[in-house]
A and B are shown apart, each in its own frame.
Chain A
């Protein structure tokens, strides 16, 4: 960047000099690329913690009250020589959900991919508010520490489920968890603050800091989906903040917002929670889909099918997500006449998602498909999300939901929507952008083995759980075999648990691959996949400020295989 130009133009606060000290460069960095990696670090760390909790839960379900291999070191009263007591099981169930949704999915999908990619994809040197960006990642760090600290409080960590239904969550006496439950609320509040700060950066960066020629309809779909997710989160989290304040006061000050004996209403919590909860699902889904949208055209060598329809579907799905919340509450005791209207809004929301899914499949038609590791993961997302989608139709029908509500059918359903969009899409994105992030290639063979093991093991864990759900197996049960009608399901649980162990162990392949790549990986060229979007038109990894000169955008993000062109891709900067 020339000093001449710097002096002439008004200084923007997103221009900051390249840092020189270690602290400024890697710890208190304001560079969106470093912040993205910090988010990735926090997210992966928490995901590993959440994954180990899943292992504990699965072990208990398959072989109740037997020592969990590898966990003999956990002291009492958390575990007894490796065996899990009921209180700890409920804490595990609660923390697995809380961690995976708020401390793994959001940091990885929005925090890491959003921060690293969004500015480069729009052609900006950094986020609009770099210091706010740093503050948001540090707030998330503090939130994570508070959540982890809650384990060490007397009574242990929160045990009221990740949905925190009152009155169970409103009085310490009901769960036996005192400070753990209060810290759970504080950790969530800090997490919300973190992503509110992050979200405004997404909006202003994507609107204001686009490179010349980057019109809104030339934005990569990932940017659109990150943006929609940020706005959804901002608009939906307020009522939950209000609910969290009330819950905190119920726990600490003795108010009775959710306690009927003091004139409160337990359903109020559920309304406020799910008003946030459903948009929150899309806050996670959409960035995952965005990753798939970036990978598909590159390896099908085709424009994405129906770019505009996808953009409008994304916005429509976001808007509709605010009027479907009561479908989580069909049998909760709300007025029965509300069920059918909410069934219909739920059905309507399947339209934009059907458009997105069909557009993904249609993109493959007539393509020239290369099954690289990222592409395998992207296709895996489509294949598994279809299962999550169709099983949602069962639950959207209020009548069928009477029986299925709070069974393993629901559990399997939402794991089939969130696992593809968080884990499969997240891994696909990591394989896809790793060369850009680090300047090194990953090993393709290892990557493919990793994909197949993950994909098959995941399906082996959760497909059988649909069956026990249909069998009436209710959720959050410490020892299912107390019930005669659940006794025959033990082999199913054993199978799912063994598959879960394979699923967790197969992630070590990624670790091996990453370490090998960092130690001795092949150097990544600027554009290893032959891709069009702006992040591939700069060095790997991008320099400070992302581009040596401001890129000018001349075309759509997915101009692959244009007839008459010499190459089968035309970068957005190609005149």
Chain B
């Protein structure tokens, strides 16, 4: 080994892929945030005797449909990533647009659900259950919206050309999108089914 390396010479000890490490770092802190909310909700629910009466007013069918949309969109973003790795620009773009569309459908559906609840007089300040419900689903919906924006940018980028950076970014967007999906997988049974 000599000391005559240039500063840009590849470093032998690097193990973490830069972008992926960054996105995992972000997701880990997000997991702790949602974990804190879910933990608080669960403990409060146990100590308040279950909130079964309030729960009856939620629409589990809309939520089940939304679960289906999100799970499907997780699949389509994986397909989009596969397509970018093969350099299949058209398929990548299409799959990203499908993911975006499913995200928007989810949000619209959620909006319909909220408006039904508002019509029945259930607001975030109605009771602790509703506070938790609106805070958790609202924060989740904000994350979905963020993902939709991100995926839209990628879909536009992918419709122009595929280069390695786009492929990486689709991978990171996919990781994030899976996370959003997984949060919903926890929220759905905890809020609607239990």
Contact = CB atoms under 8 A, between A and B. Distances in A.
A241 B33 contact: yes
A137 to B, nearest CB: 17
Interface string B114-143: 000000000011011101100100010000
Give chain B's interface secondary structure class: helix
Given A5-B8, A549-B4, A240 B14 contact: no
A253 B124 contact: yes
A552 B2 contact: yes
Interface in A335-374: none
Interface in A114-166: 125, 128-129, 132
A255 interface: yes
A240 B36 contact: yes
Contacts, number: 166
A2 to B, nearest CB: 6
Interface stretch (B17-25, B77-85, B171-179): B17-25
Contact of A239 (B3, B39, B125): B39
A319 interface: no
A550 to B, nearest CB: 4
A98 to B, nearest CB: 20
Contact of A210 (B13, B21, B43, B139): B13
Contact of A203 (B25, B47, B125): B25
A1 interface: yes
A5 B6 contact: yes
B192 interface: no
Interface in A508-529: none
Interface string A3-41: 001100111110100000000000000000000000000
A227 interface: no
B53 interface: no
Interface residues of A, number: 60
A268 interface: yes
Contacts of A2: 6
A429 interface: no
A549 B39 CA distance: 51
Given A5-B6, A208-B11, A268-B44, A243 B36 contact: yes
Interface of A: 1-2, 5-6, 9-13, 15, 125, 128-129, 132, 196, 199-200, 203-204, 207-215, 234-243, 245-246, 249, 253-257, 262-265, 268, 272, 275, 545, 547, 549-552, 573
Interface of B: 1-16, 18, 21-22, 25-26, 28-37, 39-40, 43-44, 47-48, 124-125, 127-129, 131-132, 135, 139
12 contacts: A207-B14, A212-B1, A212-B13, A215-B13, A239-B36, A241-B29, A242-B33, A242-B34, A242-B40, A255-B128, A265-B44, A272-B36
